Structure 1
């Protein structure tokens, strides 16, 4: 997935710092979006996935206007549990972030019923 850093994606806008560069929370959300997209084709109707564990190293700054390519590669599956290696790179190949996201497949209705 490719994202373009906008003003609303910056650390200053999200309150995770004061600089006009890509905020770590936004980068994390983009990594989660990539894992959702990677897992979506394998989900049966009425099923979704929820994030349960995240580890992310944000290693380089991305200014407003930068394009960030985020990938999610499956590394482990055990029943409903799916683990992905995630990374973000600028279009010139510069590494922005690496990490791991774990998601668990759940029945949507049963999951939401437990909240009530």
Structure 2
């Protein structure tokens, strides 16, 4: 399978205390925190292209424009679905939408870059 516009990926997680704004320090209330929402959105995008990259390649998140639209309490399952909207060389652009059972809780535009895992790690180790 190769990279093509329209690829979709999904991610789910249950909201536990360690995923709350209170636990992250991004707020002081025990609801699904924006840092956890971002991780969910990114995971859905990663899953959209899983199995479509050349051996030795991976993707790195480079940009997010996120809206956190609704609060979700501890114990509730949340999910996100990503769709690959554009391919510009090594740059992949996704739209991602997240829901809990009652509401759309977040959405974003997310860019990821296709890179050689080995070259990337070597460059990081050289710092």
TM-score interval for Structure 1 and Structure 2 normalised by the shorter chain: over 0.9
2:26 corresponds in structure 1 to 16
State the 4+ residue runs in structure 1 displaced beyond 6 angstroms: none
| C-alpha distance in 1 between matches for 2:69 and 2:27 | 15
| C-alpha distance in 2 between matches for 1:95 and 1:20 | 19
1:25-80 CA deviation, whole Å, 9 max, x = no partner?
01001111111111121111110000110110001000001111111111111121
Q: Please provide the CA RMSD for this pair.
A: 0.9
Aligned residues: 115
Secondary structure of the corresponding residue to residue 70 of structure 2: coil
What TM-score do the two structures reach when normalised by structure 1?
A: 0.95
| C-alpha distance in 2 between matches for 1:34 and 1:89 | 12
| 5+ residue gaps, structure 1 | none
| 5+ residue gaps, structure 2 | 1-10
Is 1:34 matched up with 2:63? no
Q: CA deviation at 1:91?
A: 2.2
